[in-house]
Structure 1
Amino acid sequence: MQYPADFIKAIPKADLHLHLDGSLRASSLIDMAKRASIELPSYTEEGLFDQVFKSHYNNLGEYLNGFQYTCAALRNLENLEQAAYELAIDNQEEGVNYIEVRFAPQLLMNPAAGVTFDTIMHVVNDGLKKAKHEYNQQASVQQGEKPPFDYGIINCAMRMFGKKGFSPYYTQLFQHLRDFEPMQVIRTAAMELVRASVRMRDEEGLPIVGLDIAGQEIGYPASQFKDVYEYAHENFLLKTVHAGEAYGAESIFEALTQCHADRLGHGYSLFSPEMTEDPTIEDPKAYGEKLASYIADRRIAVEVCLTSNLQTNPSIDGIKNHNFKHMLDNRLATVICTDNRLVSRTTVSNEYQLAVDNFDISLKRLKDIVAYGFKKNFFPGDYVAKREYAKTNLAYFDKVVEQFGLKDDSHS
């Protein structure tokens, strides 16, 4: 079925896998760099797109290269609040009513300059809250013609970092814990992050809704952070894990069994048996199929990032060969996300268009995908409020369908 771009833009959407430090406006990054005296390879948008934020990347390393500039710029608190505010605005302008903004606060911390975890969390929340307030004051929202905008914040621990260069906080931590093994330092940082997240949620009412673990999968299995996820689990902080992006299905199994994952970031390798490396898995294809059936049955949502996967995984030969088709065929709960709006040069509407133009998605299936974005999110309110919010957005989806005169011609 063909869907016009105006229709895709108009339907209510949610982005649940959205990295703040990978989603700045290119024009703003230039201004921010000048303000914070950060050196960029170019001070024009064209130059940045040509040299750093490309349409295609040769490997994951090249893809991640741009984060050194964005993270450096975001260590300035004024820049950080602006980035959070503009990210919400950019989503609102393309019909995205709910976002979960994730980032690694410890990458931005600079204790010597007074840039603490608490300060960073308040500044990011201030930017998002301002954009939410402005949007929800609009007459169309006030009168119930359009759903309100809302958001949650997901804090990322890092799977790995070095002694120097990652951030002032990490450098200092290695100095303080110089007699620890490197992995002990990394796990200590992750535990501090989750404890601080729970504290700020409970004592200061910040909408910190989830925990994530990001960074290189290979060599840094999620199981090493089992106690960190256990703490989140015991304190009702919801959990997502970058799993199956650059490592086999065993990484996804580990996220579910060791880390109590409520959602999966990427989950790509579930249907790529050749990515399995665990020698104890004798039949990787059968293993992936059983795991997929389990995930589908438990309705564990997969945060799908099409463009990002194509850019970081050269083995995917074109969008039509993306494992999203297998996710659809196996009836997984999938949510279409951007990952990084700047680094991947995309928007939520672009990602939806990419999906509907290349895969067989009936109107009913499209509504299901939209629904998962509202039903599988880590909403900052209680379950009753979340249900009501989802209901409001899905009723608006039906209204948009009616406005465009679309009819479902499938029985899926």
Structure 2
Amino acid sequence: MTSQIQNTPSSDQIRRAPKVLLHDHLDGGLRPGTIVELAQETGYSNLPETDPDKLGIWFREAADSGSLERYLETFAHTCAVMQTRDALVRVAAECAEDLAEDGVVYAEVRYAPEQHLEAGLTLEEVVEAVNEGFREGERIARENGHRIRVGALLTAMRHAARALEIAELANRYRDLGVVGFDIAGAEAGYPPTRHLDAFEYLKRENNHFTIHAGEAFGLPSIWQALQWCGADRLGHGVRIIDDIQVHGDGSVELGRLASYVRDKRIPLEMCPSSNLQTGAADSYAAHPIGLLRRLHFRATVNTDNRLMSGTSMSREFERLVEAFGYTLDDIQWFSVNAMKSAFIPFDERLAMINDVIKPGYAELKSEWLFQQTASTRGSVGDQA
């Protein structure tokens, strides 16, 4: 029996496998029931549905509609109920709890502080509330028998003019729960080079940052993020596939940019379900992650917006297992890739890999092998 067959994971094993998440938006992962309750508490009356189940369906259908206006409207609703300290603490705590329940052992969750100021909070109060929520969620997860560590990424919006201010904020809180910086928003018309002052500042401070690039706009977005801005990671980066040519005989030719990304081991924060919604791939089986995995790019698997995509880390891996026949070895490879690429210190990343991730997968593989052996013995006994 081949290791490919032996290591094919069940849904339960995927859920229990120690997973690492680098690209998840706080305002894209709320529980529908929480949105309804917070709307009632704050007097927000514009929700399209007030039944949690129906609201969850509405978010997924709006994200799948193909309408940019409806997709952006989804975030208007989540951000609207995330304007008070208590709401931010609750949403962040529930985020950590939900991820831990799904088997995530390390996560970097991003949000834009500038989008949570409508009720009078300062940028600092927003950051402190979210950090408090993450710590509370970690504590509750431990009480429930789960282990998770959550770091925050502070995001600046590409169309706004506060990137340097948010970068300075990320630097002030870098040892207090914030692990890095990000920019997000529409790529077309808002290149990362508009915010060079923020990136230059972060580099001078030896701080980490990722840039949403290569999702909707293409190779120029990736090139600018890397060569002009110096990004440590690429948020999505899925359009790097445009610089890879697969010939009829099966041979593969990498362009200069794709070769650079692979040679430099630049992490790609890939979000398969989200990429399908935005048209970056037609199906899971056609998603570039399959080829990028075969070519040994530093690919990672992520959720992006769990509410809008109706997904989780386990669901993402379930779909990839179905599409590509991935095994526990593949899921471990993606998880180690992500942990290597995290924005925490090297020794802490190494400890997570050696003390948590590798032992977790070894246990799952041994469990699977035991089950297979027991099943084989049972079949032999039945035949006898």
TM-score normalised by the chain length of structure 1: 0.81
Q: 1:210 aligns with which of 175, 180, 192?
A: 180
Find the aligned partners of 1:288 and 1:215 in 2 and give their Cα distance: 29
**Residue identity in the other structure for 1:48:** L
Question: Is it true that 1:135 corresponds to 2:141 in the alignment?
Answer: yes
Q: Is the contact made by 1:21 and 1:103 (CA closer than 8 Å) also made in structure 2? A: yes
Structure 1 unmatched runs, 5+? 142-147, 161-185, 275-285, 408-412
Question: Is it true that 1:303 corresponds to 2:236 in the alignment?
Answer: no
Q: CA distance change for structure 1 residues 82 and 402 in 2, over 3 Å: closer, same or farther?
A: same
Match of 1:405 in 2: 369
Q: CA distance change for structure 1 residues 46 and 137 in 2, over 3 Å: closer, same or farther?
A: closer
Find the aligned partners of 2:110 and 2:261 in 1 and give their Cα distance: 23
Q: Secondary structure of 2:306's match?
A: coil
Q: Any runs of at least 4 consecutive aligned residues in structure 1 with deviations exceeding 4 A, and if so which?
A: none
For residue 334 of structure 1, report the CA deviation from its aligned partner: 1.2
Find the aligned partners of 1:260 and 1:406 in 2 and give their Cα distance: 47
Find the aligned partners of 1:119 and 1:287 in 2 and give their Cα distance: 50
Q: 1:387 aligns with which of 330, 350, 360?
A: 350
Find the aligned partners of 1:128 and 1:233 in 2 and give their Cα distance: 27
Match of 2:60 in 1: 53
Moved more, 2-11 or 54-63: 54-63
For residue 101 of structure 1, report the CA deviation from its aligned partner: 0.9
Deviations 1:365-397 (A, max 9, x none): 332111112111112xx3222211221122222
Q: Secondary structure of 2:179's match?
A: strand
Deviations 1:324-367 (A, max 9, x none): 12211321111110001101110110001111110143443332
**Residue identity in the other structure for 2:83:** R
Question: Is it true that 1:351 corresponds to 2:316 in the alignment?
Answer: yes
**Residue identity in the other structure for 1:249:** L
Q: Secondary structure of 2:180's match?
A: strand
For residue 52 of structure 1, report the CA deviation from its aligned partner: 3.4
Q: Is the contact made by 2:15 and 2:103 (CA closer than 8 Å) also made in structure 1? A: yes
Find the aligned partners of 1:311 and 1:225 in 2 and give their Cα distance: 27
TM-score normalised by the chain length of structure 2: 0.87
**Residue identity in the other structure for 2:271:** C
Match of 1:149 in 2: 148
For residue 94 of structure 1, report the CA deviation from its aligned partner: 1.2
Q: 1:4 aligns with which of 6, 10, 24?
A: 10
Aligned ranges 1:207-356 → 2 under 5 Å:
207-272=177-242, 289-313=255-279, 316-356=281-321
Identical residues among aligned pairs (%): 32
Match of 1:361 in 2: 326
Question: Is it true that 1:197 corresponds to 2:197 in the alignment?
Answer: no
Q: Is the contact made by 2:104 and 2:313 (CA closer than 8 Å) also made in structure 1? A: yes
Find the aligned partners of 1:137 and 1:374 in 2 and give their Cα distance: 24
Q: Secondary structure of 1:272's match?
A: helix
Structure 2 unmatched runs, 5+? 245-251, 372-384
Query: How many aligned positions are there?
Result: 355
For residue 312 of structure 1, report the CA deviation from its aligned partner: 1.4
Deviations 1:37-64 (A, max 9, x none): 1121110123323433327221444322
Aligned-pair Cα RMSD in Å = 2.1
For residue 133 of structure 1, report the CA deviation from its aligned partner: 2.4
